[in-house]
Amino acid sequence: MAESDTRKRPEPDLMLVRTDAFRKLEQTWFPPEAVELAVEVVSKESEVRDRERKPELYARAGVRFYWRVEQDGNDAVVYEYEKDPASPSGDYGRPTIHRKSLRTSVPLKLECDLTDILDR
């Protein structure tokens, strides 16, 4: 990968990484195949990147799960994407949209109340 390409690596707001990917304490990046989940929290400044560009980059890199978190009033909405194995291009399938609560079992079991959690 050319140096200019490495500088364009997306940096998720949150990621779930396999433990075997940790090589040293001060490690600042992980190979895409070690990332189980990439999460982006959308702001006005990041809307286009988080909705369009980053899902494309994560899917192309092989990250199986991508979540996008957006604000709806004081509530959070989570768009849960999984790579579509039937997609010839390896894109993410249609998202599962979580409002009011997030309840999922992949890539981790998680249940979370999404109401009234954002700054007013």
pLDDT (0 to 100) of residue 2: 38
* Chain Cα centroid distance, residue 107: 11
Residues of the chain below pLDDT 50: 1-4, 120
pLDDT at 118: 62
Q: In what order do the strands lie in the sheet with 96-99?
A: 14-17, 35-41, 65-72, 75-82, 96-99
- What phi, psi does 37 have (nearest 5°)? -150, 130
What does the mean pLDDT of the chain come to?
87
